[in-house]
């Protein structure tokens, strides 16, 4: 049997998978190592098919509380933060011991929602995760609970996972938890066994369903999952909610397992270019020569050698305008360099960046994926 979700997963190159805290433990609150092994085996299988897998894992607090021998008290945020810093080592260690056996490096990435929103940190995080993928490592992301409490208070990393999927232009985001999907309501009653398999648009009917499921108390986490679905689908990322409790949850999904698929009606790249074009806070501009303009038109990135001049006040990650020598604004993009660094490298060959700045993070001033031509 197949479902639409499995078609989308099969067609995806880059997949973000979020694991809810509850999945790591059995009913007696023991670490469910066998389950994690089965999940990781699924991940390794997808990696063999050349899919890029990024995991967002909750569970640090639960691991930490077990070590501290304390019960969860949602009013004591500091305790939860401290538990997270203890438990995060266990959480990552659990993945590492499994991926080590497959010779795959495990990478810990701690992020906050702000890191995805702030342009400079967004670009830094994106570059790091992209490099980890190139190096064949598996990035395992969690909220940096020492400095942020958003997802501890409300969310269990659902929205963070959607922001990560948006940031790295994933094709699909899978949210595995103990929720099967969004249930149907018939004659005013919630039918928990009837899961909506496909949602094309999050309209008022869907919002009402979410409210009903929250009131009933049977699916407390649905609100943040819908928030996540909005972030994901608006960014061109399809999102799947599925029950991850059984072993081999990804195989189950790929074999037609029950789930709710939220379809995006754009692609991540188109959504990103649209976002760049609609930006209102433009911090500066670069003037480029005819050769660079030809290159941009042929889908290439903007290199320092083609830049005649630059002006404004901006940091790495800002959106800036690109204009021709005659002053006509022809494109817009996210700069990988601040104005002060750009002034030093403009007109120079890429190979000279290191000796001028003392470091090389990016050789492109604006990468082609971060650039939109004004049509
Ligand atoms: N970052 C938290 C963790 O890893 C999120 C889950 C929670 O709120 O318990 O535990």
**Which position has the higher pLDDT, 132 or 121?**
132
- At 53 the pLDDT is 98
* Helix 158-167, helix 119-134: angle, nearest 10: 80
Mean pLDDT, residues 174-183 taken together: 92
Mean pLDDT, residues 177-185 taken together: 88
> Residue 156 C-alpha to ligand 1 middle, in angstroms?
5
> Residue 24 C-alpha to ligand 1 middle, in angstroms?
12
- At 186 the pLDDT is 79
Whole-angstrom Cα distance, residue 93 to residue 96? 5
Pocket lining: 145 vs ligand 1, CB cutoff 6 Å:
yes
Numbered ranges of CATH 3.40.1160.10 in the chain: 4-268
Kindly indicate the confidence band of residue 155, based on its pLDDT and cuts at 50, 70 and 90.
confident
> Residue 60 C-alpha to ligand 1 middle, in angstroms?
6
Q: How far apart are the first and last CA of the chain?
A: 44
Atom nearest to 72 CA in ligand 1: 9
> Residue 227 C-alpha to ligand 1 middle, in angstroms?
17
Using an 8 Å Cβ cutoff, are 61 and 80 in contact? yes
Least confident of 66-70, 185-189, 258-262: 185-189
CA angle 102, 126, 141 (to 5 degrees): 50
- Bridge partner residues of 371 (DSSP): 333
In angstroms, the Cα distances linking 297 to 98, 149, 346, 350 are 46, 44, 20, 20
CATH of 279-373, one of 3.40.50.1220, 1.20.1260.10, 2.30.130.10, 3.40.50.300: 2.30.130.10
- At 220 the pLDDT is 42
Residue 12 has pLDDT above 50, yes or no: yes
Numbered ranges of CATH 2.30.130.10 in the chain: 279-373
Mean pLDDT, residues 362-374 taken together: 92
- At 21 the pLDDT is 93
In angstroms, the Cα distances linking 6 to 3, 43, 257, 298 are 5, 15, 8, 35
CA angle 89, 90, 92 (to 5 degrees): 65
pTM beyond 0.95: no
Nearest CA to ligand 1 atom 8: 152
- At 208 the pLDDT is 85
CA atoms within 13 A on the CB side of 175: 33
Q: In the chain, pLDDT over 90 holds for what percent of residues?
A: 75
Domain spanning 4-268: CATH 3.40.1160.10: yes
List pLDDT tens digits, range 17-30.
Answer: 999 999 999 989 89
Residue 375 has pLDDT above 80, yes or no: no
- At 309 the pLDDT is 97
């Amino acid at each position: 049997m197949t479902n639409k979700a499995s078609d989308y997963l099969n067609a995806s190159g880059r997949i973000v998978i979020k694991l809810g805290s509850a999945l790591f433990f059995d009913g007696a609150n023991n670490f469910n190592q066998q389950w994690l092994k089965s999940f990781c085996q699924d991940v390794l299988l997808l990696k063999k098919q050349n899919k890029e897998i990024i995991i967002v894992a909750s569970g640090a607090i639960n691991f930490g509380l077990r070590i501290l021998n304390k019960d969860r008290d949602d009013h004591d945020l500091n305790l939860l933060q401290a538990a997270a810093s203890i438990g995060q080592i266990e959480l990552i260690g659990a993945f590492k011991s499994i991926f080590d056996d497959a010779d795959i490096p495990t990478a810990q990435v701690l992020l906050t929602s702000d890191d995805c929103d702030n342009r400079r940190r967004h670009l830094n995080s994106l570059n790091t995760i992209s490099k980890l993928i190139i190096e064949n490592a598996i990035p395992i992301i969690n909220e940096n609970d020492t400095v942020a409490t958003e997802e501890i208070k409300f969310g269990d990393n659902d929205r963070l996972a959607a922001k990560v999927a948006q940031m790295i232009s994933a094709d699909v985001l899978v949210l595995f938890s103990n929720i099967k999907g969004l249930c149907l309501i018939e004659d005013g009653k919630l039918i928990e066994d009837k899961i909506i398999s496909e949602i094309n648009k999050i309209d008022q009917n869907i919002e009402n369903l979410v409210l009903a499921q929250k009131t009933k108390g049977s699916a407390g986490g649905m609100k943040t999952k819908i928030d996540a679905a909005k972030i994901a689908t608006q960014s061109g990322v399809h999102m799947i909610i599925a029950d991850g409790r059984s072993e081999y949850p990804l195989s189950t999904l790929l074999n037609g397992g029950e789930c709710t698929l939220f379809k995006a009606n754009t692609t991540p790249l188109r959504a990103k270019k649209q976002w760049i074009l609609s930006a209102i806070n433009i911090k500066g501009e670069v003037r480029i020569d005819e050769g660079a303009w030809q290159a941009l038109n042929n889908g290439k990135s903007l290199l320092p050698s083609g830049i005649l001049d630059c002006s404004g006040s901006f940091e790495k990650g800002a959106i800036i305008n690109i204009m021709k020598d005659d002053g006509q604004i022809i494109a817009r993009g996210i700069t990988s360099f601040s104005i002060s660094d750009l002034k030093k490298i403009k007109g120079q060959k890429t190979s000279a960046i290191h000796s001028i700045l003392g470091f090389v993070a990016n050789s492109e001033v604006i990468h082609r994926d971060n650039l939109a031509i004004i049509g």
